[in-house]
Structure 1
Amino acid sequence: MQRAALLVNELTVDWAHGRQVAPPDTGPERRAAIQEALTAAGLPRSESLSPAHADRLAVVAARLRPAFGAGARTESMIEGLNQLLVRHAAVPNLHGHPDGPPVLAFHRADASLVDAWTADAATALAMVIGVGQGARLRSCEATNCERAFFDTTRNASRRFCGLSCQNRAKASAYRLRRAAGTD
């Protein structure tokens, strides 16, 4: 789930934290953005990620983007996820390194990096939606922020991608109340 949101945020978002951002538009820029985001999220960098992979992942991120939103799931969004699952051969599979225990993944052990990441991300989104928790796949509600996130709060009430957007929204609401004389 974390990697799905990371790809969407790094490769498709035009507004983040109140600022207009330009998604990277070349393979090397996309690769660098993904690597930096992986590091920032505490995930291992992928040295096998090439600029060509990053370009293909940008297409995938655009297909994953509609799953993150507060509204109802549309048939076209569901069909898009189903197409990704089929095209990238999503199938439960146990595999891992010889030194460690096997891990459950949703791609073949010999899958390409793009197929592996896409199958895992699309499966994670499909599982969340399939168990009735699709409302937890959200987009930030702050003005000028389109970042995607997975709401892990107990009552599914998270509205913002992070503290900076929450603080901006609360300060803006306070200024509006103050200007209206209701505070």
Structure 2
Amino acid sequence: MPVTIEAWRITGQSQIDSYVGRWVELAALLVNELAVDQVRGRRADPPADRRAALEAAFQRQGWTPSHALTSADADRLVDVAAALHLAFAGDVGALNQALVRHAAVPNLHGDPPVLAFHHPGADLVDAWAADAGTALAMVIGVGQGVRLRSCEADGCELVFFDVTRNASRRFCGLSCQNRAKATAYRARRRT
């Protein structure tokens, strides 16, 4: 029999804790660096050096990996990013398959104990995939899947975690928002 856990509520707003938010942001970073074909109206070719691209993205986002990322890890993360990209699009079946494939299981390990969704001996890729996938599942599971968004601007596939109060963010950033507004303005002027 399934158990339903109510979302935490403060003045009607569901809250996502910092642990979940951190892993959802990593999921978005992996997807945006390794699994999108169009960025801000331009074709995005896969990075030639995935490890270097990820390390640069980590630095931009202030993410500090607990273990050194190898080139082999970066190559394996491409498949993880593709599965997580499907989750941002609402494909919970693909997300469930990724959780099983990377052995996501809640447990406490370390000193002091830390909640994680991977086995203590898991390699970096399986650990990140399990933790990021579980965080996406938790966001979807508390009814906040609408916060896992793709940019609505033409020619942009970047994903993001919408943390606005009313979940109304539509674009990955200001440049896409400006492009969309300019396109809409030009369309109105033509009519």
1:51 Cα deviation after fit: 1.0
Conserved 8 A contact 1:95-1:103: yes
Comparing 9-18 with 85-94, greater Cα deviation is found at 85-94
Comparing 171-180 with 11-20, greater Cα deviation is found at 171-180
1:145 Cα deviation after fit: 0.3
Conserved 8 A contact 2:67-2:124: no
The 4+ residue runs of structure 1 with deviation greater than 3 A are: none
The CA distance in 2 between the partners of 1:61 and 1:147, in whole Å, is 12
1:45 Cα deviation after fit: 4.7
Aligned residue number for residue 68 of structure 2: 48
The yes-or-no answer on 1:130 pairing with 2:165 is no
The yes-or-no answer on 1:112 pairing with 2:120 is no
1:47 Cα deviation after fit: 5.5
The yes-or-no answer on 1:178 pairing with 2:181 is no
The yes-or-no answer on 1:13 pairing with 2:58 is no
Gaps of 5+ in 1: none
The CA distance in 1 between the partners of 2:67 and 2:170, in whole Å, is 34
Q: Which amino acid aligns with 1:82?
A: N
The alignment of Structure 1 onto Structure 2 pairs a total of residues equal to 168
The CA distance in 1 between the partners of 2:133 and 2:78, in whole Å, is 14
The CA distance in 2 between the partners of 1:9 and 1:54, in whole Å, is 14
Conserved 8 A contact 1:9-1:147: yes
Aligned residue number for residue 167 of structure 1: 178
1:103 Cα deviation after fit: 2.9
Comparing 2-11 with 36-45, greater Cα deviation is found at 36-45
Where do 1:66-105 residues align within 5 Å?
66-69=86-89, 73=90, 77-96=91-110, 101-105=112-116
CA RMSD across the alignment: 1.7
TM-score by length of 1: 0.84
